[in-house]
Structure 1
Amino acid sequence: MRTVAVGVPAAVLGGTVSLVSPAEARSGTGSMATGGYEPPVCAPGSGTIIQWGPYNAPAVPEAGLSGVTAISDGACANLYNLMLKDGRVTLWGNLNLNDRNQQRLSRVPVAATKDVTAIATGGSYAFALRDGGVIVWGGTYDNQLSLPEAAKSGVTAITGANGGNSYGLFLKDGGVIQWNGYVAVPDEAKEGIVAMSARKHALALREDGRVITWGPDLPANLTVPAEAQSGVTAVSAGAGFSLALKNGAVIAWGGNDYGQLEVPYEAQSDVVAISAGVWASMALTASGKIVTWAYNFYGQLDIPAEAHCGASAISCGYVCMVLL
C-alpha cells in the first residue's frame, strides 16, 4: 500500500478521464490520460501524480499536479484515493454521495486538513497521522471509529488493509498496534518492527530483516520463504500474495493465479521500492525505471513514458500510481 519503501502505501493527471476501452488497456494501445491535458515533461521532485490502469478510474484533481508528498490508492476498484499536500489530506474518487457510507468516507475530518505527516487507505476507511496520533474516518457508524488508546499518541507509521477485511496497523515504539482486525497480532510483531504492510493479510518487517505474516489468507501466503527470513529491507502485501525486497531484488510468494510470483529480470536487481497490488505489482529501480508484472486486465502493465521519471513513491492496487 504504505511506507514508500513498503509500497505506497493512485491517480491520472488532472482534467477528465479519456474513455479508453478495457480491450485497448489490455492490449497496450491505450493508457490513462486526461481530457485535453498534456502530461508534464519529466520533472522529478515536482510532487506530480501520474496514474494508469482502469479507464474509468477517478481522475486526479488539480491539487495532484504539483507539491504532493504522499499517495495511497483505495481498496475498491476505481472508488477512492488519498493524497497529502502541505500537510492536508485530499480524498477523491468515483463516490456515490447518495450512499451514506461513501458520503461518510468523502468527508475528510478537519483534524486531517493540517499538519498531517502520513496517510493510508483501508477498505471503507481512511487514516491519517498527525502529531503522533491516528485519525480515522469512513465506515458505516461512528462507534466503529473508536481507536485503541495506544494509537492516540507516539505512533510513527500507519497502513491499512485494502482487501476483504478493513483494518489498520499502526507502529509505535517498534510494536504493531492493530485496529479492527480479525486475527490478533503475533507476539513477535509487538517489538522490533521497522515496517509493515496489509491487505487481507498483514506483513511486518523486523529490525533483523525477518518477515512476519498473519491474517485470514491462503496458507501458501502465510508461509514466509527461507530467503525472506533475513536481510529484507521492505515488504508489501498483495491480494493473496506477498512481496519483499532483499539486496535490491524482489522476492514473491503466495498465490500465483495471475503470474504474481513471476518477477521479471528488471525487478531482480537495483530495486528500491515495491508495491503489491490486486493482480499486478510494481517496482521502482534506482535508475527511476518503473517495472510492473502479472495480470494486465486493467492495463497496469501499460506504463506511460512519463512514469519513468524519477519517482519518489509508488502505489499499485486496481490502479497504479507514481509520485514524481
Structure 2
Amino acid sequence: MDAKQISNKKKNKKKKSFSHLLFMNLFGGKEKMTMLEEEDIQSPWQTVRSTFRDDKVAMTALITFLVILAIVLIGPLAIPIDLSFSETTQQNIAPGLDLMKLPQDLDGKVEQIAIGPTFSIGVSTDGKVYTWGKTKINKNTDLKDIPANMGKVVKVAAGFDHALALNEDGEIFAWGNNRQKQASIPVELIRGKKVVDIVAGYQNSAILTDDGCLYYVGNSTNNDFNEFHPYQGQLKKVVATSDTLMGLTSDGQVVHLGTQINSYTNIPQNMGNIVDIATTASTVATINDEGKVFVWGNLSSKGEGKIPDVKDKIVSLQGGRYHYTAVTETGEVVSWGSNYYKQSTIPKEVSESKISKVYTGFYQNYAITTEGKVLTWGLNGYPFGSDELGRDIFTRLLNGGRMSITIGAVAVIISTIIGVIVGGISGFSGGKVDMVLQRISEMVASLPFLPFAMILSALIGNSMTSRQRVVLIMIILGLLSWPGLQRLVRAQVLSVREQEYVVAAKSIGVKRRHIIFKHILPNVISVIIVSATLSFASSMLTEATLSYLGFGVQAPLPTWGNMLYGANNSIVIQNYWWRWVFASIVLSISVVSINSIGDGLRDAIDPKSQER
C-alpha cells in the first residue's frame, strides 16, 4: 500500500469517526465524548435538545402530554359535543360497553327481547329468562334477581326500572322497583282469565286478557290513563308512550286510552285497517294492511315523522325512545328518527342479512336473522360513564380538555407578553422607570388572586354568555399572572445589559428597543421558556380551581374544572365515582407532565446542572 492510499484511509477513518459521533449525539447515543468534542459538533440548542432527550422523566412527560394534547384537539372533531343535550333515562350510568352484550346461552335461541333504558331482558326458546346490561336500579334493587320457579316463560316486558314475565300457564311475574306499585300484579282481577299481552312503561304496567280487557297498575299521576275508558272488551294490543297508553282494537282501529285531549288524540283519518302499532316516548306509529306507515303525536326535530321511502311492504314495527325500526316482507330493515347513538343507522351486516324479527327499545336494536343469529346496533354503553343529565363523560372530557388547555395556553401567552415587556424595559432602563414598573408589579402581585378573580367573575360574569365568560377567565388569568415572570426577566436583563455586545450596540447608536428585544431578550429566552411552561400548568390548575368553586367556566360548556364542580357532592362521590375520578386523573396527569417538562427544560438549559 503506497503513501497516498494510507493517507486517504486515515482521512476516511477521521471522517467516519466524526460522522459517527454526530449521529450518536443527535439521536440519543450513549457513547461518551469529551467536552471539546461536544462543543465542536454541537450548537448550544443542540446541546439543550440532547440533554433534554436524555432526561427520561422529562421525555416521558413530554410524550404523555403530547398524546393528551393530540386527543383533546383531534377528538372533538370526531366526537363533537351537543351543549343542549340531556337524557333523563341515561342518568349516572356506570362505565362499560355492555348494554347489548347478549348472554352466550341465549345466542342462537332467542324467543323475544324487551329493552329498558340501560338493560335488556330476553327469553329463550326453552322459556328461560336472561338479563344483561346495567341492571342495578339502586342499592337494594337489581333486575338480575329474577324470580325463581317461573316455569316456561313465553313473553317478557321491560319498563323504566322494572320487568314483567308471562309464562305458558298465564301467570305473571314482576320484579324490580315497586315504589309506585308498578310491580304489584292485580291477581284477583285477572284470575280465571287468559293473559295475552303484558306492557311495562314508566312506573306502570298494563295487562291485556284474551277478552280484550285491560288492567292497569302503577303511577296514574304522570301517566294519562282512564280506567273507565269505553274500549274494554275490544282491545287486541296495547302500547305505552312516556305518559299515556294507546290501544289497537280487534277491528283494526287505534284508540287513546287516556282522559286528556292532546296530540295523541289527533289520530289520522282514513288510515284503513291497522295491523300493528308502536310508540316512541312522545309519538305513535301504525301500519295498515297495505304496509303504509302513519305517525303522529308530539313530533319534534328528532325525526320520528320523517318516514323513509320503502319499496317493499312493511309488516312489523318497533319503537325506541325517539326512533322507529321496521321490517319489510322481504326481510329488509329500515329505521328513522333520532340517530344520536347511531340507533337509526342500519349496519352493513344487517342490511346484507335476511331478518325475521327486530326488537327495538330506547337506544338499542336487536335483529334476528332467519338462521337465528342476533345482530345489534345502537347505544352499547359509555366508556367513562354518564353524568347527572345523561351526558357522555368521555365526550365531555375530550371537549373539556380542549377548553382547559386553551384557557391555560392563552392566559400564559398574555402573561408572558406582559411580563417580558415590563421586565425587559424595567431591567434595561433602570432608574425611575424601573421603580415605577416595579411598584406596579408589586401592586398586581399583592392582589389576593383567587378572591379577586371570584369577585370579578361574580360581578361582571352574570351578564355574559358562557363563551364570553371563557374569554373573561383567560384575560383575568393573563393580567394577574405576569409579575413573577417580569421579575425573572428583569434580573436576567440586569446581568446581561453590561455585557460587551450590549455596550458595543449602544456605542454605534442602536435604538434602545432593538437592543432590548433583538440582543438582550434572545439571551434570556431560556428563562422565559421555563417560566412559561410552569405557568401553563399553574393556569390550568387555577382555571380548574375557579370552575370547581363555581366562578369559572359555566355549564353547559365543559372544562375539567367544572366537571369536578358538578361532582362536588357527597352522594356523587360515594355512589358515582366515575363522575370525578376520570376528570381528576386526566387533569393531574396533564399538570404533572407539564411541570416535569418545565423541570427538564430548566435542567437542560442551565449549564451548571449538566454533569460533565
Q: TM-score range by the shorter chain?
A: 0.7 to 0.9
The alignment of Structure 1 onto Structure 2 pairs a total of residues equal to 268
Q: 1:153 Cα deviation (Å)?
A: 4.6
TM-score by length of 1: 0.74
Structure 2: tracts of 5 or more residues without a match? 1-74, 81-95, 370-612
Do the aligned partners of residues 180 and 151 (structure 1) sit closer, same or farther apart at CA in structure 2, a change above 3 Å counting?
Answer: farther
User: CA 1:169/1:215 → structure 2, altered by over 3 Å: closer, same or farther?
Assistant: farther
Higher RCO, Cα 8 Å, sep 6+ = 1
> How far off its partner does 1:225 sit?
1.4
Larger Rg, first or second structure (1 or 2): 2
**1:244 counterpart residue number:** 286
> Using a 3 Å threshold, how does the CA distance of structure 1 residues 95 and 283 change in structure 2: closer, same or farther?
same
- Deviation of 1:313 (Å): 2.4
1:123 match:
160
Q: Which of 348, 359, 377 is 1:305 aligned to?
A: 348
> What amino acid maps onto 1:307 in structure 2?
V
Structure 2 distance, partners of 1:55, 1:250, is 34
Change beyond 3 A, Cα 1:259–1:106:
same
Q: In structure 2, how many angstroms separate the alpha carbons of the residues matched to 1:88 and 1:218?
A: 42
Q: Which residue of structure 1 aligns with residue 147 of structure 2?
A: 109
How many Å separate the matches in 1 of 2:97 and 2:160?
21
| Partner in structure 1 of residue 264 of structure 2 | 221
What is the aligned partner in structure 1 of residue 114 from structure 2? 72
- CA separation of 1:122/1:286 partners in 2, compared to 1, >3 Å: closer, same or farther? same
Q: Which has the higher helix share?
A: 2
> Structure 1 residues 287 and 143 mapped into 2: Cα distance closer, same or farther (>3 Å)?
closer
| Pairing 1:198–2:240 present | yes
- The equivalent of 1:232 in structure 2 is 274
Post-superposition offset of 1:97: 7.2
Structure 1 residue 57, shift from structure 2 partner: 2.6
Alignment map for 1:1-324 (pairs within 5 Å): 57-74=99-116, 76=117, 79-85=118-124, 86-96=126-136, 99-101=139-141, 103=142, 105-112=143-150, 114-130=151-167, 131-140=169-178, 145-148=183-186, 149-162=188-201, 164-182=202-220, 183-200=225-242, 201-215=244-258, 219-228=262-271, 230-246=272-288, 247-257=290-300, 258-266=302-310, 269-308=312-351, 309-317=353-361, 318-324=363-369
- Superposed CA RMSD in Å reads 2.9
CA–CA distance in structure 2, aligned partners of residues 24 and 254 of structure 1: 34
* 2:232 alignment partner AA: K
The amino acid across from 2:152 in the alignment is D
- Give the Cα–Cα distance (whole angstroms) in 2 for the partners of residues 155 and 238 of structure 1: 28
Q: Is the alpha carbon distance of 1:135 and 1:96 closer, same or farther for their aligned partners in structure 2, counting shifts above 3 Å?
A: closer
Q: Is residue 70–residue 83 contact of structure 1 (8 Å, CA) maintained in 2?
A: yes
State the 1:227 CA deviation.
3.1
Decide whether the 8 Å contact of 1:116 with 1:128 is kept in 2.
Answer: yes
Instruction: Find the residue that maps to 1:306 and give its secondary structure.
Output: helix
TM-score (norm 2): 0.41
Q: Please tell me the residue identity of whatever aligns with 2:190.
A: A
Which residues of structure 1 form unaligned runs of 5+? 1-20, 27-53
Instruction: Give, as a single letter, the amino acid of the residue that structure 2 aligns with 1:157.
Output: V
Structure-2 change in CA distance of 1:58 and 1:216 (3 Å)? farther
SS in 1 for 2:263: coil
Residues 1:100 and 1:188: Cα distance change in structure 2 (over 3 Å)? same
Aligned residue for 1:307, secondary structure, equals helix
What's the CA shift string for 1:170-218, capped at 9, x where partnerless? Answer: 3331222222251224533311222221132212111111001234888
Deviation by residue 1:28-72 (Cα, 9 ceiling, x = unmatched): xxxxxxxxxxxxxxxxxxxxxxxxxx9663411112321111111
Contact 1:71 1:84 in 2 (8 A): yes
Provide the C-alpha distance between the structure 2 equivalents of 1:279 and 1:142, rounded to a whole number of angstroms: 25
Helix, strand or coil at the partner of 1:63:
coil
